[in-house]
Each structure stands twice: as structure tokens, then as C-alpha cells.
Chain A
Amino acid sequence: MSTWTRFNIVSVVLGFAFLYLPIVLLIIYSFNDSKLVTVWGGFSTRWYGELFRNQGLMDAAWVTLRVGFISATVATVLGTLAALALTRYTRFRGRVLFSGMVFAPLVMPEVITGLSLLLLFVAVGLDRGFFTVTLAHITFTMCFVAVVVQARLMSFDRSLEEAAMDLGAPPVKTFFQVTLPVILPAIISGWMLAFTLSLDDLVIASFASGPGATTLPMKIYSQVRLGVTPEINAACTLMIAVVAAGVLIASVVNKRREVQRQRDEQAALRLG
């Protein structure tokens, strides 16, 4: 079926060029030798060297990774529980409020979430810092995890659990031996989503953080406000490289598994 017209091809190509060109330019110019960011002065990796000598940026990166790791992990547990509560318990007191609270942070402007969390921390007298940023990130990322896991649970064949119980496994055992392993891929992608969201977040971290817990986006932001610098280009390129590598590896692994699976299924059909 040749319904892919020239207009379709052109619009897809232009759309993807628009999506990728700014990032590509940023990566190219991170290898620019000139200190004037927009004037090409030859290829160089000097800014990467500068970057690793910049203790402030390195510290911020370390804080960001730790916050991301801890918050993603806790958010994955809480988000999975929330998804289970939403799909498995159709009737409990305050369910409407609960599902509202799970879905609202997805569309809530970050400035509001950040402000409200900050005011909470002040009201209860919690010193702002690493701990409060982590709490804030758990709260807004757990909702994304809940949505990802809930989508998987909706398509989950409940007869798998019934079969396990029918074969003698009590509910808790059924959950750990059957339900959890089957929804694990969704939980892992939920974790990855939470981790990236935490790494990326500027606004909520700015509100929730305090002295001594500056995250990488906050650091980058404070320098970016003063203008484009080659060092920041280099930092951004590294971040893009890490994320792109992660996503590519994940999708290649997935793709290979999918291909293997299809091959197996075809082989089984031939045998059957």
C-alpha cells in the first residue's frame, strides 16, 4: 500500500529536523575550540577537560544522581502501590480523591507544586536540603510511575492470579510469584522515567532545595542565565549522551527480545 505521499515524507523529515537540529548543533558546538560560543574555532575537547575540573558542577552532578536514584526507587514502590490500589480496589472510601491526587500532579504547573512543597517544609520546620529535594521528587515522580504501572495492570490477565491461587498459592505468595514478575518490565520503565524526571527537574528542585544541595539543573540554570558558555554545552552533551545511550540500549534489548519472541512463536506454529 503506497499511501506514503511525498507530502507525508517531507513533513516527517522536516518535523524530525526541527526536533533534532538544536540538539545536534549544541553537541557540535561543545567541541568548538573558540571561547566565543557561536564562532567555530576548530575541533577541540578542551571544554570537557574544563568541565571535569569544575568542582561545583561535579558536586552538583553527584547530588543529582543521588537524589535521582533514591527518589526514583522510593517513587517506584509508592507508585506501584498506588497503581495497585487504583486497579485492584474499585471501591474504598475516598477513592475519587485518591485518583485525583494521583493524576493531578501530571498536569500541575511545576511552579505550584514547588511552591506548595516549600511552604509545607517551612510550616513543619524541615530544613531545606538534600532530604527535602528527595521528598519533593518522590512526590511528583511517583504519579508518573503510577500511570505507567497502572496501564500495564489494566491489561493484566487476572486469570493468571486466579490460576496461582487455584494451584494453592495464597494471595501474598501469588503477588510475589506471579503478579510482580509479570508487571516487572513496566515497573522498571517506571523507575527509569522517575529517574530521568528527577535528573531533569529544575523548578521543583529550586523551591525544595536549600544550601548545600544544589542539583545539576539548578547549577546549569544559574550559569545559563548569564549566557551560553562552551562549558555548559559540554555538560549538556554529556547528559544527552548518557540518556541517549540508556534509551538506545534499552530499546535494542527490547527489540532483540521481541524479534526472538516472534521467531519462537513462528517456530512454535510450524511445530504445532
Chain B
Amino acid sequence: MAEATASLSSAAQPAAPSFGDRMFQALTSRLVIIVPYLWLLLFFLIPFVIVFRISLSQTAIAMPPYTPVFSLQDGLAAFFDQLRELNFDNYVWLTEDPLYFNAYVSSVWIAAVSTFFALLVGYPVAYGMARAPAAWRPTLLMLVILPFWTSFLIRVYAWMGILKPEGLLNQLLLSLNVIDTPLLIMNTHTAIFIGIVYSYLPFMILPLYSALEKMDYSLIEAAQDLGCTPISAFWKITFPLSLPGVIAGCMLVFIPAVGEFVIPDLLGGSQTLMIGKTLWNEFFANRDWPVSSAVAVILLLLLIVPIMIFQFAQARAQEQGR
């Protein structure tokens, strides 16, 4: 028996891992965190700090066109000295010039109206998809995602050919005698609404679809069995249950739409005020880096609330899913 025991333990040979092994594991497991962490710190967080810093500095005709507020060489004492005389001029300027205020207001307004229309268009489509025969749903879903893979710029550009005064829409309507003078859609808010609804419609449809698809259709049948008309069953059962999808979809359209640049620039013409475009112009046309940085900081502050709503709704949906 003693022999058997000895041979068993020698065959098994369990031994504690060597020091080298453990070092290697500790290092590799750290690297998994450290590499992406450092990358994001360097290329995501620090740039924001710089934006914030430059938004507090003076415009100068130089390259780079601003006078730095802090520089690392001056040390900490200088840092606190300068902190006292920080330059909030750019922010004051933003509040004094109605151009910027109007740009913020009209951005939010345009984004909100577009979101509403995207919901109006997207809901019936998502509902129809969720009710489609199960075998078709993956194909329909792919057809919604497919435009997302084609260039955003191209999709906006496609509308330029349709909406302009001598464009395809007016040609069609004129030839059908619906109208006798071309509609002026291009370079108006309507064109921007169309552009945003079109570009972001998949973002609206996808969360709505996933909320509606999960829903048990027998709930509607139960409601109708208990005396609801189809319409009141929709408003009392379907819509409340799809609310997480509605919130997610609206936020996914609203948040990027507020800061949108390409759509107002290409479809909205020079008259349109939107904050993304203003920032771009301040930066590229006026070369006023401090003011465009301040515009960016305020845009970010503006978006924090909808982003929080979105995160909160997502977290709650995840909990309910469990």
C-alpha cells in the first residue's frame, strides 16, 4: 500500500507554480488593462483636458493660434497663480453673442423635431417587422442594418440630388401636376429634418424592434379578450411595454443629431445655424481655436443630460431582462 501511495503521488506531481510563471501571469493580466487604458487616457481623456484648457485661453494670431494658459514648465506655483486669472472671456463672449445662443437653441430644436419624426416613421416599420413571419425577420433586420454600412456622407449626398429645385422630387411632382412651381426644400430646415430622419432611422428602428419583438402577442389577445379595441390595446399594452425601446431609440437619434455637422452643412445651406457647423466654421474658417473649444465644452455639457437618460434606461432594461 505504501508503494502504491508513493507511485500515485509521483505520477501526480502537483507542484506550486514557479515564480516566473506567476510573474508572467500577473504581467499579462495587467497588460490587458493597461494597454487600452493608457491609449484611451492619452487619446481620449487628455485631449478633453486640452480642449477645456484652450477654451480658457486668449485668441492670438499665431500658430497655434492661442496663448497657452498653463504650461508644464512653470510648475505648480505658476499654475495656481494663473488659476486666479483664468480667462472666461470666451464663455462670456458665447453668452453675449446671440449667434451662439441661437445656434444651441436651434440645434436642440432641430434634433428634437427630427427625433419626433424619426419615431413617427420608425415605430410602424419596427412594429411591422416585429409582426412579420419569424422566418423573414432576420432578413428584414439585415435590410435595416445594411444602409448603416454604406457611407453616411453618400447617404446625405444622395438627398442633394433629390431635394434640389431642379432635383428628382420636383421633377416627379411637376410631371404629375401636383405642383406648378418647384418646391424649395433644399437649404431649409425641412431638408435637415429629412436628412436626419433618413440617416438615423436605423438607430430608431433597431431598439424599437428588439423591444417589440420580445413582446408576447398573447398580451394583445388577452387585452382584446377583456374588451379592448385594437387601438386602445395598442396604447394601453403595446406602447407602454415598448417604452424602453422608444427611449433608447430617441436618445440614439437625438444625441448625435445635436452635434451633427454633415447634414446641416450639405442640406441646410448657409442660413442654417447648428452648433456642430458653428464649431467647424469657428475652427476652420475663423481659426478661432479658443472659441471653438468653448463651443465644444458647452455642447458636451448640453449632451450630458440625454446621455445620462440613455444610460439609465439601458441599465434598467438590462435589469428587467434578467
Count, A-B residue pairs, CB within 8 A: 237
Task: Find out whether the CB atom of B158 lies under 8 angstroms from the CB atom of A26.
Answer: yes
Task: Find out whether the CB atom of B158 lies under 8 angstroms from the CB atom of A115.
Answer: no
Q: Which one of B3-11, B42-50, B74-82, B87-95 is at the interface?
A: B42-50
The answer to the question of B83 belonging to the interface, with a C-beta cut-off of 8 Å to chain A, is no
* Binary flags per residue of A80-107, CB closer than 8 Å to B gives 1, else 0: 0110110011001010011001101101
Q: Note all chain B residues with C-beta closer than 8 A to A171.
A: 25, 28-29
User: Which residues of A come within 8 Å of B, CB atoms?
Assistant: 1, 3-5, 7-12, 14-16, 18-20, 22-23, 25-26, 29, 37-38, 78-79, 81-82, 84-85, 88-89, 92, 94, 97-98, 101-102, 104-105, 107, 109-112, 115-117, 119-120, 122-123, 135-136, 138-139, 142, 146, 170-172, 196, 199-200, 202-203, 206-207, 217, 220-221, 224-225, 227-228, 232-233, 236, 239-240, 243-244, 246-247, 251
Report the minimum CB–CB distance from A57 to chain B (whole Å).
14
Report the minimum CB–CB distance from A181 to chain B (whole Å).
18
Partner of B149, one of A9, A142, A203, A247: A247
Report the minimum CB–CB distance from B110 to chain A (whole Å).
14
Task: Find out whether the CB atom of B51 lies under 8 angstroms from the CB atom of A119.
Answer: yes
30 A-B residue pairs with Cβ-Cβ distance under 8 Å, sorted by A, are A3-B131, A3-B217, A4-B128, A14-B125, A15-B124, A19-B144, A20-B147, A79-B36, A85-B33, A92-B33, A109-B259, A110-B276, A111-B261, A112-B51, A116-B50, A119-B50, A139-B44, A171-B25, A196-B149, A200-B152, A202-B262, A217-B153, A220-B153, A224-B153, A224-B266, A228-B161, A232-B157, A239-B150, A240-B150, A243-B149
Q: A12-B125, A199-B151, A247-B149 are in contact. Are A139 and B40 (CB under 8 A)?
A: yes
Q: A26-B158, A115-B293, A172-B25 are in contact. Are A110 and B261 (CB under 8 A)?
A: yes
Closest to A193 in B: B149
Task: Find out whether the CB atom of B161 lies under 8 angstroms from the CB atom of A8.
Answer: no
User: Which residues of B come within 8 Å of A, CB atoms?
Assistant: 21, 24-25, 28-29, 31-33, 35-37, 39-48, 50-51, 54, 64, 121-122, 124-125, 127-129, 131-133, 140, 142-144, 146-147, 149-155, 157-162, 164, 166-168, 171, 198, 201-202, 205, 217, 255-256, 258-262, 265-266, 276, 279-280, 283-284, 289, 292-293, 296, 299-300, 303, 307, 310
Give the secondary structure class of A's interface: helix
Partner of A8, one of B51, B128, B260: B128
Q: Tell me, in angstroms, the Cα distance from A16 to B129 when the chains sit together.
A: 11
Q: Given contacts A23-B150, A26-B161, list 5 more A-B pairs with CB under 8 A.
A: A8-B127, A81-B32, A98-B36, A98-B37, A116-B47
Report the minimum CB–CB distance from A255 to chain B (whole Å).
8
Give the secondary structure class of B's interface: helix
